[in-house]
Amino acid sequence: MIPPVAAPAFLADAGWGGGELHPLAGDASFRRYFRVVLDKERAVLMDAPPPHEDPRPFIAMAEYLGAVGLSAPRILHRDLAQGLLLIEDFGDVRMRETVDADLSTEMETYAGVVDVLVKLHQHAPPPALTPQSVAIFLDEVGLFPEWYCPTVGLSVDEAGYRTAWQAVLAPVMDALETPVTVLRDYHAENIMLVEGGTGTARYGVLDFQDALAGHPAYDLVSMLEDARRDVTPAVERAMLARYIAATGSGPEFETAYWVLGAQRNTRILGLFPRLWKRDSKPHYRKFQPRMWGLLERDLAHPALVPVKGWFDANVPPEKRAAFWAEFL
């Protein structure tokens, strides 16, 4: 977490010359973040180094979210050639730790982030967003046979795997009439509780540069089947009902919720071994038992019978959550 060489000149050009840089938590990408402190002012320096990262999708989505009345960091200064952004600092009060410290706030806080999605889905997505599709979903779940299975020593029926997923995903996407903006990494560690914010403005949204135009159930299940935090079943049921009531979604929405939850959780089960093996980030192993618990719940839904059948035939119990217990 050494600041980029170009940071001092960039900050000086932004009017933040002499600001102190303090490392902030990174994420699963090549991006790095530093808090900039200048007298009593604070901002965040994002280092998105080319060619690994392109900050333009982040900028476009931040401006779009602000335009529709949601809280995303304002862009204070930019240098696209060097991949440097100076953005608004939402502070240190993150949803994850706040709710964990006082579980009596869980229902209210999750209601707020569901309301953010309701508000977001009232607006057409930006025209430049790539449409979510069955092909994209199939590529994503391809991480499971590519990375998960070799890691645990499995040889599996890859053709049958793709056929099973095609059978459950195609009806969901065929039934989608109006795509919405899908942030794709919407969970409790990417929400800051903004001081002085009220209503949906209280919830500062981060990490949305990979947004697509797609299914409204995707971000909801991302939040409620969180890879890093256990959400109580009562909260999940209440928030699913809250979204459906607010949007007038029909019964097909709940089916999509479980199907897309299974798709997302399977993708993550494959992604975390890649982060461990390829990117030297072994701490992601500890999340795998939770991911299996979530996937097992999803697979119990009748719409997922083909995928459940594949898992039952190809992935024995000892290669599921039990394999990862030592890393908890």
Closest CA to 43 of 17, 76, 15, 72: 76
Q: Quote the pLDDT of residue 28.
A: 57
pLDDT tens for each residue of 186-227: 999 999 999 999 999 999 999 999 999 999 999 999 999 999
Number of CB atoms found within 10 A of residue 174's CB? 9
Enter the tokens of residue 35. Answer: 């808090």
Query: 119 in helix, strand or coil?
Result: helix
Residue with tokens 């964990």: 100
Q: Where are the domains of the chain?
A: 7-88, 95-327
DSSP 71: B
pLDDT tens for each residue of 63-80: 999 999 999 999 999 999
Query: Mean pLDDT score of the chain, rounded to an integer?
Result: 96
Q: Quote the pLDDT of residue 270.
A: 98
Number of CB atoms found within 10 A of residue 6's CB? 15
Domain 7-88 has CATH 3.40.1050.10: no
Banded pLDDT at 272 (limits 50, 70, 90): very high
Tell me how far apart the alpha carbons of residues 226 and 77 are, in angstroms, rounded to a whole number: 32
Q: Is the predicted pLDDT of residue 252 greater than 80, yes or no?
A: yes
Enter the tokens of residue 129. Answer: 């967003």
Tell me how far apart the alpha carbons of residues 260 and 266 are, in angstroms, rounded to a whole number: 10
Between 28 and 170, the higher pLDDT residue: 170
Q: Is the predicted pLDDT of residue 168 greater than 80, yes or no?
A: yes
Closest CA to 64 of 118, 128, 130: 128
Chain-centroid distance of CA 174 in Å reads 24
Banded pLDDT at 27 (limits 50, 70, 90): low
Q: CB–CB of 110/239 below 8 Å? A: yes
Tell me how far apart the alpha carbons of residues 42 and 40 are, in angstroms, rounded to a whole number: 7
Q: CB–CB of 222/193 below 8 Å? A: no
Banded pLDDT at 57 (limits 50, 70, 90): very high
pLDDT tens for each residue of 29-39: 688 999 999 99
- Which residues are within 8 A (CB) of 280 and not within 5 positions of it... i.e. 6 or more apart? none
Per DSSP bridges, beta strands 32-38 and 20-23 are antiparallel
Share of the chain above pLDDT 70, in %: 99
Q: Is the predicted pLDDT of residue 51 greater than 90, yes or no?
A: no
pTM comes to: 0.93
Per DSSP bridges, beta strands 32-38 and 203-205 are unpaired
The CA-based angle 107-108-112, given to 5 degrees, is 115
- Range scoring the smallest mean pLDDT among 19-28, 51-60, 113-122: 19-28
Kindly state which CATH superfamily the domain 95-327 is placed in: Aminoglycoside phosphotransferase (APH), C-terminal lobe (3.90.1200.10)
The CA-based angle 118-120-124, given to 5 degrees, is 120
Q: Quote the pLDDT of residue 31.
A: 87
